[in-house]
Chains A and B, each alone.
Chain A
Amino acid sequence: MAEIKSAATRKTKRPELDEGGMGYLQSLPRRVVTVYLPLLVFVIVLLFPFYWMTITAVKPNLEMTDYANFNPFWVVHPTFEHIRYLLFDTSYPGWLLNTIIISTAATFLSLLASVFAAYAIERLRFSGARQVGLAVFLAYLVPPSILFIPLSVMVFNLGLYDTPFALILTYPTFLVPFCTWLLMGYFRSIPFELEECALIDGASRWQILTKIVLPLSVPGLISAGIFAFTLSWNEFIYALTFIQSSENKTVPVGVLTELVRSDVYEWGALMAGALIGSLPVVVLYSFFVEHYVSSMTGAVKE
């Protein structure tokens, strides 16, 4: 772990002077061919589906299918008809609300459980803490694709089928291991001395956790929260399996199962649904992109 920490400090403290490394040895034409051109291609390929989504969402149906008279890459008469249809003639707003409620609840539940678990594993060091930490990591490697069938049996037997609780209680199966693992890394970076001082001053473990460790790990809590929220927002297989009725569906499932009718594809509405469903996650992420990148890379480095 030590090398990771030193690597992290090296990254932040690296002087500006060193920033470009030996880049100055490269000539401009060479840089254009080896760096800027491939980067341009990568960015175009990675962003094109989003452009295509957006342009389709505001394209009238006539232009969408008439490639002979209209250049498909552009829109001549933008329309909000698809978005209006989506928001007022379908259950889309309800799916959005469901997704927000389920993601928020699952995130809070997982964070609460993870904070205690991570603190116990990392700082209380009860006997067997290392093994429990490893078990938590292994739990993260268990994919939802092999759990959804037995979970559907459980959800049905518990009477949770087709209720939001089916998802709120099952999402922590992948959120808790992830958040715990991420928070363990954060707690590890808090100096032991702070806790020892507090212990000498007569603080209880509970006070240490709430008054010292948690305030210091707010960035970790934020990134774990964002991660958990994004993962729940994106979850598909459980939501597809455990939810039956249209009004209880989440955005990904609703868009796919309700907006696609037999052979008439409402491409405009579908793209608008995909776009609006992606926006909350993108906005959330763009606010905290630095946390996001650093915590993702931090979590992977553990």
Chain B
Amino acid sequence: MAVPSAAVQPRSSILSRSLSALSESRNALGFGFMLPAAALLLVFLTYPLGLGVWLGFTDTRIGRPGIFIGIENYQYLWDDAVFWLSVFNTLLYTISASILKFVLGLWLALILNQNLPFKSFFRAIVLLPWVVPTVLSAIAFWWIYDSQFSILSWALMEMGLIDHRINFLGDPENARASVIAANVWRGIPFVAITLLAGLQTIPQSLYEAATLDGASRWQLFRYVTLPLLTPIIAITMTFSVLFTFTDFQLIYVLTRGGPVNATHLMATLSFQRGISGGQLGEGAAIAVAMIPFLLAAILFSYFGLQRRKWQQGGGD
């Protein structure tokens, strides 16, 4: 009786020991824990990213697998005026909307950082434009910008500021300004609330010390607030620029790229050529052409605006 049990005993303990060794091993356990997330991301993010680059070198259409055609798509786009117009539009849209979002968002954050009655109430309602689905708020803007029944035109006419209705989305210049305004409207809350969080980490004692030293209000802002806020400004604006650059929904709802491609962004052009037009290869090439710009934006904010040594408490 004792023999088999003695034989079984070590084997099971070896098994359990190796099992427990496995569960104690950080690498094995880490691998196991990472598996679900890694599988999802590798299959639905990394692989499509590579596939997108590959599609950009093929003439794939919807319903027909393509063959490798080298850089023909890119050569075609290089000579395509509409593509360059979309690049220009995207840059104009991103730069002007980001600057406006930053200035207005910072202003709103500074206001909300004051000692206000109903502080948390204001913070909550200010975030609303950011929480609501973009497409749905864009539909509201579509109605606000209506060529015939625009409430803005009506109000301005009632006030006697203009004498005829504004053609918000029908005229190229107006359309650009209108979509930028709608984007800024949606983006202000995000910038304001994140910068507000940054403002709240600045100790009051610094302001008190600077005031005792005779600093004016502008100097307080310029030499205390702004330097201490720079790191969070960098992160916030990087995100803001990335999301504005790759924006699709707002344009798709308001103008679909019109009038005469004046508001086509690279993302909407990529959708129009790739999905609506069925030229998957060309659409993918346009999407890939966005990557260098995104990388440039990330690197710029990383190297240009990262924490200086003195902000971390070190010497200069």
Contact = CB atoms under 8 A, between A and B. Distances in A.
Interface of A: 3, 7, 10-11, 18-23, 25, 31, 35, 38-39, 42-43, 45-47, 49-50, 52-53, 56, 64-65, 67, 72-73, 109-110, 112-114, 116-117, 119-121, 124-127, 129, 132, 136, 139, 141-154, 169-170, 172-173, 176-177, 180, 204-206, 230, 233-234, 236-237, 240-241, 251-253, 255-256, 267, 270-271, 273-275, 277-278, 281-282, 285-286, 289-290, 292-293, 296-297, 300-301
A73 B242 CA distance: 36
Contacts of A292: 127
A126 B30 contact: yes
Interface of A is mostly: helix
A142 B45 contact: yes
Interface string B271-313: 1001100001001100110110010001000000000000010
B152 to A, nearest CB: 10
Contacts of B31: 126
B115 A67 contact: no
Interface stretch (B3-11, B169-177, B232-240): B232-240
A300 B132 contact: no
Contact of B122 (A39, A53, A116): A39
Interface of B is mostly: helix
B34 A282 contact: no
Contacts of A278: 132-133, 136-137
A31 B266 CA distance: 44
A10 B201 contact: yes
Nearest to A120: B33
A147 B49 contact: yes
A143 B40 contact: no
B189 interface: yes
A13 B52 CA distance: 50
Nearest to B182: A49
A230 B131 contact: yes
Contacts of B35: 116
B69 interface: no
B284 A150 contact: yes
B38 A21 contact: no
Contacts of A39: 108, 111-112, 116, 122
18 contacts: A42-B108, A42-B188, A46-B128, A46-B185, A124-B29, A124-B30, A141-B294, A144-B246, A146-B270, A146-B291, A150-B48, A205-B24, A234-B133, A277-B133, A282-B128, A282-B131, A286-B124, A300-B239
Lowest 10 CB-CB distances: which A-B pairs, in order? A126-B30, A297-B197, A120-B33, A117-B37, A20-B115, A143-B246, A274-B136, A252-B135, A7-B201, A150-B51
Interface string B247-260: 11100110000000
A293 B123 contact: yes
B52 A146 contact: yes
A267 B122 contact: no
Contact of A129 (B30, B132, B312): B30
Given A19-B115, A274-B137, A277-B136, 20 more contacts: A20-B115, A21-B207, A49-B129, A112-B36, A116-B34, A116-B36, A117-B33, A145-B267, A145-B290, A146-B270, A146-B290, A149-B270, A180-B37, A205-B24, A252-B249, A255-B136, A256-B253, A274-B136, A289-B127, A301-B235
B60 interface: yes
Nearest to B143: A267
Contacts, number: 293
Contact of A49 (B141, B188, B201, B267): B141
B96 interface: no
B26 interface: yes
Contact of B203 (A10, A109, A112): A10
B163 interface: no
A11 B200 contact: yes
Interface size grouping (class) on chain B: 35 or more
A210 to B, nearest CB: 12
A289 to B, nearest CB: 5
Contacts of A290: 120
A121 B154 CA distance: 57
B193 interface: yes
Contacts of A72: 149, 151, 154
B115 A23 contact: yes
Nearest to A206: B23
A228 to B, nearest CB: 13
A300 B235 contact: yes
Nearest to A127: B27
Contacts of B249: 236-237, 252
B135 A255 contact: yes
A264 B18 CA distance: 71
A145 B122 contact: no
A22 B242 contact: no
A116 B34 CA distance: 6
